[in-house]
Amino acid sequence: MSLPPDRRTYLFGPYLLDLGQRRLLRNGKLVPLRPKIFDTLRALVENHGRVLHKEELMAMVWPDTAVDESNLTHNLSVLRKSLGKNDKAQYIVTLPGRGYRFIAPVEAPLEGSVAVRPFSNLSPDPEQQFFCDGVAEELIDALASVDGLRVVGRTSSFDRRLRDLSSPEVGEKLGVSAILEGSVRKAGERLRISAHLIRTSDGTQLWSEHYDRELGDVFEIQEDIARAIVNRLRRKLLAPHPGPIVKRPTQSQEVYQLYLEARYHLGTQKGDRVKQAIALLNRALEMQPDFAQGHAVLALCYGTLAVDGFLRVGEAASRAEEAVQTALELSDTSATAYRACGLLRAALQWDWSAAQRAYLRALRLDPGNPNARFSYGHYFLAPVGRLEEAEQELKTATHVDPLAPMLGRSLCFVYYLSRRYEEALAEARRTLAIDSTYPATRSLAAACYSAMERPEEAVRERQVHLRNAGRPEDADTIGRILEKEGEQGVLRWSAARLLKRARNEDAHYDSLAILHAWLGERDTALHWLEEAIRVKRGVAMWAKVHPAFDELRSESRFHELLDGMGVNDPRVATPGAVA
């Protein structure tokens, strides 16, 4: 009976037995054990409370080798000395004529995973919800920096559909062993925060604390809460977390509240709300020009507006450039600033080498951040053709933030770019189950059906998209056109509609290129693709791998466009390359 590799851990007394790392820790310090002595301890602990006969125990420790029982006697002697040193507790007993038994209480500790739920707003002012969410979101960021701790991302942790679920149900949905819940009451300069750490397996409250402090003590409260969580999980970790967990972005409470409110609006991913975030950050930066994190988030706001089509790329790039440079001058250890820099260099400037350097620096500083992995995979790896790597980054991000529709849509897109249409459709369905109106997901599903030559289903997805967008007449129109002219007629109708709007705005150049490519009109498709590349708009940045442009790949002009974009440069396009 062999002992396969395992990732479990066990607690007994002051000891942690870590099977994955094959280590025994006593109060966090390593207890050296030779391999077969470790295997002997493992067998006893895994069968704690049960008598193991001598022959059975030897078969576990030496499964493929015949050894003398003196070897077992020696191992047990060494174990008793190792466990009994400076400790009066008894762990292993010998039952003459029967065998051996591990008698100390053994428990499986919490896995190193936690979700921070949004804190309830008990303040007299209901508008203080941004502050409550901000406190929780800052805790997510702080805990995510702890090595060995998996912290669920904001989107999944804050999902409203989890509100009425029990702790075990939330744990199953998010894949965590613990959740942190709490409430905030902010009245004038007084701040009351309650926090509770709950084990998801059975709903047991593991830790609870109430704080009644001055508003200026918010950072100390966040540090206390974060430290309590890490201490509760610390035996799962291989090393203590050095220094403070919570970073103070500013000493000014007024600046901090403006910053939290800005992050609250940015998190909605809605154009008008992101513009509100910019206004709030500008107010904060007027009060404190050296607020590095404020400049970093400001750069993210401009990048978000550009990639989502709410601001022209040229204007967004210049403003984001100024904010990024200032943020990095003030702090070269800001993961947010490097993520913003990666987004700027990749999506707005197409400076791929610089983008990769910035993204990798962001991931080194904050490896647990799902948004950084999303941005790296979606805006750098996929455009240069490294689709397998993009998929892995997005899967890692989805593991951390499983209910984030942005991540699901991006993974669907990468499957589509990889011509794995069935997998793309499955991911689209999963994403739409999270948010049935999430932007572009229906269009992606329609594109998959078109590529699979299933036009009726493709048009049906487009009809749902149009109705969700408040255009029921257009939905009915394309249904009638499909019956009379087929899918090609629907594509021609869509192109004609976009052409009227493209005369006044550049946001649809990429869509026109795709539609005309699908219609087989190569010259027209190339014209609009060239225009989209000129203004760096939309899916043009994925032209190298987009299935719609497969009809153009025999055209030298198409490859000249790709070379001009820089996506064929082997320094960035070669799998595994680091520029």
Dump pLDDT digits (tens) for 119-129.
Answer: 999 988 888 89
3.40.50.10610, 3.40.630.30, 3.40.50.2300, 3.30.479.20: CATH of 113-126+156-246: 3.40.50.10610
* 108: pLDDT strictly greater than 80: no
- Using the predicted structure, report yes or no on whether residue 240 has a pLDDT greater than 60: no
Question: Distance of CA 311 to CAs 23, 275, 303, 391, Å?
Answer: 54, 10, 9, 28
Per-residue pLDDT, averaged over 106-113, amounts to 70
- Is the separation of the CB atoms in 81 and 40 below 8 Å? no
Q: Can you read off the two tokens belonging to residue 87?
A: 């400790």
Round to whole Å and give the CA distance between 182 and 210.
9
- Which pLDDT score is estimated for 46? 87
Beta bridge partners of 192: 185, 212
Confidence bin at 8 (pLDDT 50/70/90):
low
131 to 229, 349, 425: CA distances (angstroms) = 21, 34, 38
What does the alpha-carbon distance between residue 103 and residue 45 come to, in Å, rounded to a whole number?
A: 9
Give the pLDDT score at 238: 44
Tell me the helix, strand and coil percentages in the chain, rounded to 5.
Answer: 60, 10, 30
For 9-102, the fitting CATH number among 1.10.10.10, 3.30.1330.40, 1.10.260.40, 3.30.70.20 is: 1.10.10.10
- Spatial strand order of the sheet with 15-18 comes to 9-12, 15-18, 23-26, 29-30
Indicate if 113-126+156-246 has the same CATH topology as 9-102: no
Phi, psi for 53 (deg, rounded to 5): -65, 155
Most confident option among 5-19, 86-100, 440-454: 440-454
Average pLDDT over residues 530-548: 94
Q: Are residues 100 and 93 in contact, defined by beta-carbon separation less than 8 angstroms?
A: yes
Written as six digits, the tokens of 463 are 């009809």
Per mean pLDDT, which range of 109-118, 400-409, 493-502 is the poorest? 109-118
d(CA 328, CA 315): 20
For residue 87, what pLDDT band results from cuts at 50, 70 and 90?
low
Q: What is the pLDDT of residue 343?
A: 97
Closest CA to 235 of 6, 5, 40, 21: 21
What number of CA atoms fall less than 13 Å from residue 516's CA on the CB side?
A: 21
For the chain, the structural domain boundaries read 9-102, 113-126+156-246, 505-579
Q: Could you tell me what percent of the chain has a pLDDT over 90?
A: 64
Tokens of 164: 């009425």
Confidence of residue 523 (pLDDT cuts 50, 70, 90): very high
Q: Which of these, 115, 114, 145, lies nearest to 335 by C-alpha position?
A: 145
Give per-residue pLDDT as tens, 163-192.
889 998 998 888 888 999 999 998 888 999
Q: Rounded to an integer, what distance in angstroms lies between the CA atom of residue 517 and that of residue 321?
A: 34
pLDDT band at 547; cut points 50, 70, 90: very high
Q: How many CB atoms lie within 10 A of CB 253?
A: 16
How far apart CA 24 and CA 33 sit, in angstroms, is 8
pLDDT-based confidence at residue 150 (cuts at 50, 70, 90): confident
